[in-house]
Amino acid sequence: MLEKIKHYLAIGPVFAYFVRVFRKDKEGKYPHSFNLKMMHGINKISIIMFLICVIIMVTRCATR
C-alpha cells in the first residue's frame, strides 16, 4: 500500500519533464510535430510566468 502511494506522489518525472522541455532533442527520441512544438512553447511560457509570480509573491511577503 505504501509503495503504491509513493508511486503516485513521485515528483521525479515532473522535474524530468521541465528539463526536457527546456532542452533541445538532439537524439530524435521524441516526435517533432508542429502541435507538439507549440504545446512545449506554451508550457515554457507558463512555467516562466509561474516562477516569476512565485518570486514576486515571496518578495512581497518578505517586505511586509
- The three grid cell numbers given for residue 39, joined into one nine-digit string: 504545446
State the chain's maximal CA–CA distance in angstroms.
49
Sort 59 into a burial class: Cβ within 10 Å, 0-12 / 13-18 / 19+: exposed
Is 0.85 topped by the overall pTM? no
Domain regions of the chain by residue span: 32-64
Q: Is 36:58 a contact under the CB 8 Å cutoff?
A: no
Q: Does residue 29 have a pLDDT over 90?
A: no
Angle between helices 12-21 and 34-63 (to 10 degrees): 110
pLDDT of residue 10: 77
**H/E run at residue 61:** helix 34-63
30 pLDDT more than 90: no
pLDDT of 52: 95
